[in-house]
Amino acid sequence: MKEKNKVWFITGASRGFGKIWTEAALERGDKVAATARKLESIIHLKDKYGDSVLPLELDVTKPEQVKDVIQKAHEHFGKLDIVLNNAGYSLVGTIEEASTDEIRAQYETNILGPVTVIQAALPLLRRQGFGHILGTSSNVGHITFPVIGYYCSSKWAFEAIHESLAAEIKQFGIKVTIIEPGAYATEFGSQESLKFASTLDVYDNFKAEFIKGLQTMERGNPQATSQALFKVIDSENPPLRFNLGSNNLTSTKSVYSERIAEWEKWDEISVSAQG
C-alpha cells in the first residue's frame, strides 16, 4: 500500500523521464524537490503544484552546490523518501574520436555527479532510518553499442556503484533500485541531451549507418512508465534492477548467452592459468 505524501528529490527534472516522473509524482499527491541546471526550466511547476514542489537550481558536477541543495530540500520537507539521480547525457563519438576532456566531462555528469548526490544524501537518510535511492541507468548498462561507447561505459560504472551501494546501506534500512530504460521517445536524443565528439572522416559512413539504425528503432511511450515506477517505489521489497520497456530482457539475455558461450569455449585454457 502506498504511503501518503512521499517526498522525492529528483535531478534532471526539466526534461525527459525526470520531467515526466516529477509531474506524475506531484499529480499523485507526493511532494518533490525538483532540480535542474537552469531554474527557469522548472520554476513554472510552482504555478500548478504550489507548496508540493520545491524547484531548485542544481549542477550535479558542483559538489558544494549538491550538498547545499540536498540539505535545503530535506529541511524544507522534513524528510526525503526517494532520491532519484536522473541527470545525464550521451557523448556521441567513436572510441578513437573522443578527447580526454570530452570523456572526462561525460563521467563528471553521469558517474561522479550521481555519486556526489548519494554521498550528500546518505547522512540524512541514515538519520531518518529509511529512504530509497533510485538511479536512471539504461539497458546499455549491460550491453554496448558502437559510437556511444563512452556513454555505455558510464552506465556500466553506474550499475556497479549502485550494486555495491545496495549491499553497503541495506543495514541502515535504505533501499536501492537501478532503473534501466530501453529506447523511449523522450528528449534524450535532443541536442541538450547529446554532445558530439570531434570527427574523423574514416568513421563517417559507419556512424551514419549506426545513427540510421537508432532512428528506426522501436521506441516506447515515456508516459507509460510512471505507474510502473510507482509500483517499484511503493513495494516493500523493490528490485535492485528494474527494466523499463518490453525489449530489454530479450536483448540482455542474448548478449549474456553469447558471453557465457565464449567463456565456456575458452574455459579449459582459462582454468590452466590458475596454476
Cell of 188: 534524450
C-alpha span between 139 and 136 (Å, rounded): 10
**Per-residue pLDDT tens digits of the chain, which is 275 residues long:** 455 689 999 999 999 899 999 999 999 999 999 999 999 999 999 999 999 999 999 999 999 999 999 999 999 999 999 999 998 899 999 999 999 999 999 999 999 999 999 999 999 999 999 999 999 999 999 999 999 999 999 999 999 999 999 999 999 999 999 999 988 776 555 455 678 898 999 999 999 998 888 777 777 888 999 999 999 999 999 999 999 988 889 999 999 999 999 999 999 999 999 99
Whole-Å CA distances, 272 to 31, 210, 265, 269: 58, 40, 13, 5
Q: Single out the catalytic residue among 155, 175, 184, 226.
A: 155
Q: Single out the catalytic residue among 14, 52, 90, 137.
A: 137
Q: Single out the catalytic residue among 49, 89, 151, 184.
A: 151
49 tagged catalytic: no
155 tagged catalytic: yes
109, 188, 206: which is closest to 150 by C-alpha? 109
Quick one: how far is CA 184 from the chain centroid? Answer: 14
110, 50, 125, 117: which is closest to 84 by C-alpha? 117
C-alpha span between 43 and 39 (Å, rounded): 6
151 tagged catalytic: yes
Whether pTM > 0.75 for this model: the answer is yes
Q: Are 62 and 38 in contact (CB under 8 A)?
A: no
**Where do the DSSP E strands lie in 138-211?**
174-181, 194-196
C-alpha span between 167 and 182 (Å, rounded): 25
Cell of 115: 555519486
